[in-house]
Structure 1
Amino acid sequence: MIIKNIGELGRFGGMAVVIALFFALHISIGAKAIPLADVFSALIARDDTIFDHIVVWDLRMPRAVIAIVVGAALAVSGALMQGITRNPLADPGLLGLLAGASFAVVVAFGIWGSAIVPIMPLVAAGGALAAAGLVLWIATAAPGGARPLTLILAGAAISAFLGAVIAAVQLLDQENFDQLRVWLTGTISGHRMSYLGWCLPWLAVGFVAAFAMARQITSLAMGDDVAVGLGVNVVQVKIVSLIAVVTLTASAVTLSGPLGFIGLVIPHVVRLFVGTDYRFVVPYSALLGAAYLLFVDIVARVALAPVEISTGLVTSLLGAPFFVWLVRAKL
């Protein structure tokens, strides 16, 4: 037991070091490169008379912090969805939650404008929940019921439909929706820490619920009958997990727009190292998701420098091949 605890502590420590290194590198890279020594100096003792310190604190650190939060939120959402549905292809993007959240934000923005910003997490949560319900209803009504393949097909159909509606709305009112154009491709640039402040309560609810349900989800992943036999309240676990998935996904969409494939890729990578026990899958997914999105955002900034591409495009380019491999391996 002592050896196992030491091993887990070492793995957690290793992941924390990786995140810290990516965090420092993320802040260092940009239109104006800042040496790592100056980054550490700025983080330890801010001096507003030094321009690099202002850049670090006011521009680059908020982006890095948001990358950590969004990466962790989407990865944990994917892990929960895969455990609850026992569907290896489950992911907030593939099952329509990202599209539903984005659609709700676009519609609300079109009606009320920037006044919705403080309640964007709530608006996005409503859209994600509605889309998830619609996907489940369509998949359940299909021949054979809500199997992994029917869920993916229903999610793809709903995502495509909502994406088309969003595009049509933008074309009809290009001036008002221009500021959402980049956000809809998935990006964490240009955000202030105030956005994170509006999302913190929702993120707290989501992460607390996810960690609280981790042990029960391990039992649930073996089947509802097995879980009931082990004393798990299946309905309660599914409801609480759904709350966690919706709140985390809504917060991530609010902060970054729709970033696909993170919730699909990260939990599968985590299981290669820690197995199927969700007491470890959930926290390691959070850590690896944070490190992964920091890395992806660095790539988005340097791949075509000095031009910066949307982070969502990079997550799709990296995630799509993994999704194809997973479909071939699992279906």
Structure 2
Amino acid sequence: MKLRYLVSLLIILSFVSLFVGVSNVSPLDIFQLTEDQKEILFISRFPRLMSILIAGMSMSIVGLIMQQLSRNKFVSPTTAGTMDSARLGVLVALLLFPAAGMLEKMAIAFIFALLGTFIFMKILDKIKFKDAIFIPLVGLMFGNIVGSLTTFFAYKYDLIQSIGSWLHGDFSMIIKGRYELLYISIPAVILAYLFANRFTIAGMGEDFATNLGLNYKHVVNIGLIIVALVSAVVLLTVGTLPFLGLIIPNIVSIYQGDHLKNSLQHTAVLGAVFVLVCDIFGRIIIFPYEVSIGLTVGVIGSGIFLYLLLRRRAHGL
């Protein structure tokens, strides 16, 4: 699939997204907008579009990085305990620093996400039977243990409802002033592109990378920091987007190969396109009501994941 076709589709869907919603704003009104229509576009629709693009691109890229470093196509922030650890960090922030702002909560969630990801990678190093399906199952078990701890303490301190808001992705509450934290993901994505070749070499194994003169642990640590930072930012701003970081890199690798630098642009654009499609679908399926992005991404993503799983087994991979 040509990158320019994906970019063209992204531009078309972005334009459509600006004019889909309960409030009546038509493309024909673009040059004669009323004050109410301007507020709808610039306070609600445009911030929502920007958050969709950034979240879709960044979560797809960190999924690709995790798959490269773990050498497993079914590892992602949602199957390695990263998102669950970030939620635990949010709970700790709510308990210990109830007056903390979003930036402080993000910092604590980032620390917990990083620790959780490091623990998963350490577990991965200890596992000898590294089957393609077994590894993400271990990650899911680890994530469920962390999630159980989060639920226990949230229930104990009557914070279930507060934590529940971070369990499901939702763009409906995104307005101007409530999404700008996502811009922190952009430098992380740029850093991922700069280190893409190093991540590709690191994905070949520690011995191979060391023989080529690469500081393996340094590169892996940078990759995990990028994954944890983006996961924490997206979780706090949008919520969980299940399967996104898992399915998009797999789809891109089918037609683009496994070289990370060659796949990054395709992964970013396809991730944004996928989230846009799910968001538009969620807004129109029961119009004028809306289905949360976490549900639409989860349902569509689970179907694609099942197909990828069956395809991998059919090819004996």
TM-score past 0.5 threshold: yes
* 1:156 is aligned to 2:147: no
Question: Which of 258, 281, 298 in structure 2 is aligned with 1:276?
Answer: 258
| Residue 289 of structure 2: aligned partner | 307
Q: Which residue identity is paired with 1:92?
A: P
Q: Which residue identity is paired with 1:208?
A: I
* 1:194 is aligned to 2:185: no
Q: Which residue identity is paired with 2:289?
A: V
Conserved? CA contact 2:70–2:121, under 8 Å: no
Count of residue pairs brought into register by the alignment: 313
Give distance in 1, aligned partners of 2:108 and 2:175. 19
| Structure 2 stretches lacking a partner, 5+ long | none
After the TM superposition, which residues 222-261 of structure 1 pair with which residues of structure 2 at under 5 Å, given as runs?
A: 222-261=204-243
Give distance in 2, aligned partners of 1:225 and 1:130. 24
Conserved? CA contact 1:205–1:244, under 8 Å: no
1:79-101: per-residue Cα shift (whole Å, max 9, x none)?
Answer: 11111111011111011111111
* 1:26 is aligned to 2:42: no
Shift in Å, 1:281: 0.9
Conserved? CA contact 1:296–1:314, under 8 Å: yes
Give distance in 2, aligned partners of 1:265 and 1:322. 7
| Residue 3 of structure 1: aligned partner | none
TM-score, with structure 2 as normaliser: 0.88
| Residue 325 of structure 1: aligned partner | 307
Shift in Å, 1:177: 5.3
TM-score, with structure 1 as normaliser: 0.84
| Residue 73 of structure 1: aligned partner | 58
1:208-257: per-residue Cα shift (whole Å, max 9, x none)?
Answer: 22001112223333444443444433223212211221112122112111
After the TM superposition, which residues 163-202 of structure 1 pair with which residues of structure 2 at under 5 Å, given as runs?
A: 163-172=147-156, 174=158, 178-200=161-183, 202=184
Give distance in 2, aligned partners of 1:234 and 1:41. 55
Change (3 A) 1:225 1:164: closer
Give distance in 1, aligned partners of 2:151 and 2:15. 37
Identity in percent: 23
SS for the counterpart of 1:190 is coil
* 1:90 is aligned to 2:75: yes
SS for the counterpart of 1:188 is coil
* 1:135 is aligned to 2:117: no
1:195-217: per-residue Cα shift (whole Å, max 9, x none)?
Answer: 443343x3244112200111222
* 1:51 is aligned to 2:42: no
| Structure 1 stretches lacking a partner, 5+ long | 1-7
Conserved? CA contact 1:108–1:116, under 8 Å: no
Give distance in 2, aligned partners of 1:136 and 1:223. 13
Q: Which residue identity is paired with 2:303?
A: P
Give distance in 1, aligned partners of 2:4 and 2:306. 32
Change (3 A) 1:114 1:276: same
Higher helix share: 1
Conserved? CA contact 2:85–2:143, under 8 Å: yes
Shift in Å, 1:272: 2.5
1:252-284: per-residue Cα shift (whole Å, max 9, x none)?
Answer: 112111111111111111123322221121122
